[in-house]
Structure 1
């Protein structure tokens, strides 16, 4: 399936009949159909009668919609394949209609399926290194499924059969990160998956084809722990442990910022901005003096010592605990800080922070607390959490940019700059694609505010 060549494409459910060129590009595959296989949302054609035809291309919301990944069916050399994540681009063509181009990172060879959410029975992975410790050992049943060793003449690998079928996307994209995190943590260096195959309901194994980035040369080093000592018992224990650890394994081994960390960084940066800009801000009115606050803290501390004496709690322990708890009682809360900062952002960029500023601040506060204190809330991190963290990270980053820019230019200049910025428009359109805010469009709200 790799390399340049000719293929035929169609939307899912139709016979692939539209000729297309296929080539391997950086990060995946590209398909150039000879004619449209579906109507692009970003292209609007109007028949003006005697005046001829008019066409508009490139509305940001519709560009984002067209770029949303979708499955396509294909044929190449008589073999079926499914493009699992085709993203549409529209380019200028030699005829009246612009050309369609699809880019994708993942194909399923040998079968037509409805898409990446199609259920699969099992998956097997080949790893680049053959010196694993799980060869020739019996499979182990975990809470979620059966993990087994398998090998051929080229590679050694692992096979995973969940107790209940999972989607191709989960088995081929999400679940492997749990294994590669273990291999990285175990050896101290990344070990990539070389091949992935999924077992479908028809009883056949089908390869998942990916265009891989060239591997950069890495400094030679010894394993932290020998891969040959990593047996299936350890793998099974890890699979159960990973469910309880949430994002911690991935944060531990990856140098990039997962969406959780990115959102946490933005949440902290907004608080830091307020501290730096308004360092003298206080929670209480100006008439409340420092001496009065100190006296109030002393009264609360002494009351706690007296109350807990009945439980035989050491007085010094109680004093220390209440001194720590009340140490920042005069400071504004996290929510207070953002409520002071963000109305100016909402005024400069209506829609960016959603339909309810208080709700946006509440969610950002929750993200900050969950990530900073390592609670187990949202450890499953399913699509709803991913969308929320993405939206708040992206909108929060723009809020921080706007706050900084407001220190350099006046509000009118800033508003005009945002109104002219395609990058900002696409960011708003991408927020809308997450459908986090029901019945509300960040993009439409901003555009209407400028009309």
Structure 2
């Protein structure tokens, strides 16, 4: 490493123009107005200092090498990942070096093999103590090097303690969800059970509303987000069709009242969200009317086994080709059906062992038929037939769609009422098969295919949204009244009718 640095310094001294040398020496970052100071304890005089300086200075070290401590600067952004700038924090295999081209232009290039670059960028946990005396833990810090300097993009900053990063488990999480004005219905101390996941309660503190979740069993940082915080936000987005923000978030290690550790990450506001009197003019369902602590708890329990699929329903793909939108939503529909509906099998009148015997008999007969036809590789035939018949008891995709449609139209018949021939389920199946399997023989023109993809991409989010709101415990009449009076849903109906009318002509 020292030889590489020496070579790089000599290279710069001999080849790099004086103007570039000055840039390299200064290394003074331009203040980023999108960054925010690390939250300080209420009443701390350090807040004013942090407000005037977008970077937080301190001493940092990789958790695997506590004796190797380096000075560094930590920058925390609202719309970008946090960033740590330091020198020689860890050994890196690759550094970026300047290359001067014949035309005088200078470009920075990475030396080393791709696997070395990937190894350097592998996430690590970094501990630090700021000049103010506060301890921080940087989780998922991924580094790159430019000459002597190392920069780490940080996934999470935990303010207030040194913990074990990925391996650390937490007993509780509390968070704010958008503007507290949405939650006029929630009173301090309200509590509800979320099945085997844990319990949810409400804490009102200084005009703020905290959702406090106590886990049945301690979980990791990522599990806190994926099992509680993000599902709560997703339910709010499903119910309102607004993009609710996650506000200040804190974790607690021990259940016996240990101190709270603040979590800072991209797309998580470090300060309470306040609309300042200006709120969105229209939303699907009023949060204070439908999002009770019981519904949030029920949803956290229901969504535990859905692997984040409801997020796609709450935020369908937008900046993508229509083929991507249609295929994505068609796949999400199948996954949600598997999680939400009874996985009833075909041939329920006979026992599983009998179904297995019948499959084997069917394979044997098929092999005999191929042998009689003169095909010689019977092992291949047996393998193909065994795989083909392996899912014969599974529900077909169309039946899954019909289950979803039936539940949705029982509440809002208008959601697929204009689909006649082919039916809504038939159209989704045909479109999914076209995109996923690229089957021959489809006689539709390209414009007709695009129209059908559009119908699928627009209708599935509405159908699935209704189903998910029902599973969260929202009353059917509330869902129906909200949708039929909601202008985006009315425009959806008008657009669907316009496309179908064009197709008929």
Query: Structure 2 length as normaliser, TM-score?
Result: 0.46
Other-structure match for 2:69: 17
1:179, CA displacement in angstroms?
0.8
Other-structure match for 1:68: 122
Q: Structure 1 regions of 5+ residues with no counterpart?
A: 45-54, 270-307, 312-357, 376-399, 401-451
Q: How many Å separate the matches in 1 of 2:253 and 2:236?
A: 27
Other-structure match for 1:204: 259
Aligned to 1:89, which of 130, 144, 157? 144
1:158, CA displacement in angstroms?
0.9
1:246, CA displacement in angstroms?
4.6
Aligned to 2:163, which of 99, 104, 113? 113
Q: How many Å separate the matches in 1 of 2:284 and 2:297?
A: 20
Give 1:37-52 correspondences, 5 Å limit. Answer: 37-42=89-94
Q: Cα deviations across residues 151-178 of structure 1 (Å, max 9, x unaligned)? A: 2114212111111111122113553211
Question: Given the alignment of the two structures, is residue 7 of structure 1 paired with residue 61 of structure 2, yes or no?
Answer: no
Q: How many Å separate the matches in 1 of 2:123 and 2:227?
A: 16
Q: Cα deviations across residues 19-38 of structure 1 (Å, max 9, x unaligned)? A: 112224551222221x3121
Q: 1:27 aligns to what SS in structure 2?
A: coil
Conserved? CA contact 2:203–2:209, under 8 Å: yes
Aligned to 1:160, which of 193, 200, 213? 213
Other-structure match for 1:343: none
Conserved? CA contact 2:193–2:294, under 8 Å: no
Supply the RMSD in Å over aligned alpha carbons: 4.1
Conserved? CA contact 1:27–1:105, under 8 Å: no
Q: 1:163 aligns to what SS in structure 2?
A: strand
Q: How many Å separate the matches in 2 of 1:70 and 1:371?
A: 45
Q: Greater RCO between the two (CA within 8 Å, min separation 6)?
A: 1
Aligned length: 264
**Distance change in 2, residues 1:39/1:371 (3 Å):** farther
Question: Given the alignment of the two structures, is residue 228 of structure 1 paired with residue 288 of structure 2, yes or no?
Answer: yes
Conserved? CA contact 1:9–1:17, under 8 Å: yes
Conserved? CA contact 2:248–2:268, under 8 Å: no
Other-structure match for 1:80: 135
Q: How many Å separate the matches in 2 of 1:86 and 1:373?
A: 45
Q: How many Å separate the matches in 2 of 1:16 and 1:79?
A: 19
Conserved? CA contact 1:126–1:157, under 8 Å: yes
Query: Structure 1 length as normaliser, TM-score?
Result: 0.51
Aligned to 1:57, which of 111, 115, 123? 111
Q: Cα deviations across residues 337-371 of structure 1 (Å, max 9, x unaligned)? A: xxxxxxxxxxxxxxxxxxxxx9xxx9xxx9xx999
